[in-house]
Amino acid sequence: MNTNPKHFLTLSDLTAEQIIALIDRAIELKTQRKNHQPHPTLEGKILAMIFEKASTRTRISFEAGIIQLGGQALFIASKDSQMGRGEPIFDTAKVISSMVDLVMMRTYSHQTITEFAENSTVPVINGLTEEHHPCQLLADLMTIKENFPNLENLKITWIGDGNNMCNSTIELAHILGLELAIYTPEGYQPQSKHLPKSNKIKLCNNLEEAIKDSHIVSTDVWASMGDEQQAKQRQKAFAHCQVNQKNMQLADKNAIFLHCLPAHRGEEVTAEVIDGTQSRVWQQAENRLHAQKALMEHLLN
Ligand code: CP
Ligand code: NVA
């Protein structure tokens, strides 16, 4: 029994060097898959996937990923388990981790996953909480590296909500020393605990300033899972936060557009941009598979 497993709850659980090595491995795994080369590096391993909320990409990329590595996945909707009837997280963590090799969780509160991890004897991966979405940022970085291989002198722009995706984007930029410009409506900025003191990461007063000469423009929905009640009020507050062709023209001529998906065309992004030539959202979504396979190998090997 491992009493001190490695977890991946936020990007800070990895160093810059580990992140880059993991992305290089993900690119290698992607090539192996395209060439139909088997790569069963986690033969016989079992991944438990616990979901408090909906998912398409996270569930399928983890499930397909562990199968491609020679293991198997168990899907657990927490509401259909005893967790949904109030069994304490620490009891659940002790029991589930005694039976599987690895756990991935998507929870509302970030506290839930940290409590699970503290009581788990196997590695725990954050598949999204209200505060972080680190797996998505591994796929984002892989996509950035495929488009800008040396990762040098890049400006990233975040437009929209100061949400889980924004927090993880800040964390990645900070770890790798990348420039990040953030534009959010008044009242929706990332919490100060997620904003490191850094002259490379700044909150901008207008969208044009944030997007100017940027190489990577990223956004997300205006109302995340759990914010549905505020959808109407957010539509008003975020109306000026749309990534469209006009403001994409202020970015670098080789700029790419990223979105973790699902997207709402006509809200945070126009169809012209997300379905246009600068969009890399399908590459980004596919990269969830490869990046998380590299992550699972890292945690288990
Ligand atoms: N981007 C992302 O995490 O998608 P899902 O909610 O479909 O998993
Ligand atoms: N910010 C979004 C991301 C979905 C993948 C949410 O939390 O719903």
Please report, for the chain, the start and end positions of each structural domain, with discontinuous segments joined by +.
Answer: 11-133+288-300, 136-284
Stretch 12-33: mean pLDDT, rounded? 98
Output the pLDDT for position 224.
Answer: 98
Residue with CA closest to ligand 2 atom 2: 224
236 CA from centroid of ligand 1 (Å): 25
Site of tokens 């940290």:
114
Q: pLDDT tens digits, residue range 230-250?
A: 999 999 999 999 999 999 999
Spatial separation of the C-alpha atoms in residues 129 and 107, rounded to whole Å = 5
The pLDDT, as a whole number, for residue 150 is 95
Q: Which of 50, 51, 58, 60 to mutate to test the pocket of ligand 1 (most atoms within 8 A of CB)?
A: 58
The answer to whether the Cα torsion of 68, 73, 78, 80 is positive or negative is positive
Average pLDDT over residues 238-267: 98
Q: What was the pLDDT predicted at 223? A: 98
Residue 33 appears among annotated catalytic residues: no
How confident is the model at residue 3, as a pLDDT? 72
pLDDT score, position 62: 99
| Lining residues, ligand 1, CB within 6 Å | 55-58, 128, 136, 260-261
What are residue 109's phi and psi, to 5 degrees?
Answer: -75, 140
Q: Mean pLDDT, the chain, as a whole number?
A: 97
Q: What is the pLDDT of residue 17?
A: 98
Domain 11-133+288-300: which CATH class? alpha beta
Token representation of residue 202 = 């700044």
Q: Could you say which of 260, 280, 284, 290 is catalytic?
A: 260
- 299 CA from centroid of ligand 1 (Å): 21
Binned at pLDDT 50, 70 and 90, residue 127 comes out as very high
- Please state the rounded mean pLDDT for residues 54-82: 98
The alpha carbon of 225 and the centre of ligand 2 are apart by a number of angstroms equal to 6
Q: Is the pTM of this model over 0.95?
A: yes
What's the confidence (pLDDT) of residue 7? 98
User: Residue 185: CB partners within 8 Å, gap ≥ 6?
Assistant: 237, 238, 240, 241
Q: Which of 7, 25, 57, 106 is catalytic?
A: 106
Please indicate whether the domains covering 11-133+288-300 and 136-284 agree at the CATH topology level: yes
Tokens of residue 49, six digits: 């996937």
Residue 208 to residue 250: CA distance in whole angstroms:
7
How large is the average pLDDT for residues 262-290?
98
With a CB cutoff of 8 Å and minimum separation 6, the contacts of 113 are 9, 105, 107, 124, 126, 129
- Residues 83-105 have a mean pLDDT of 98
Q: Structurally, what CATH architecture does the domain formed by 136-284 represent? A: 3-Layer(aba) Sandwich (3.40)
* 102 strand-pairing partners: 47
Q: Is the pLDDT of residue 2 over 90?
A: no
DSSP state of 189: P
Distance 3 CA to ligand 1 centre (A): 31
| Predicted local confidence at residue 26, as pLDDT | 99
Residue 204 annotated to the active site: no
- pLDDT for the residue 1: 63
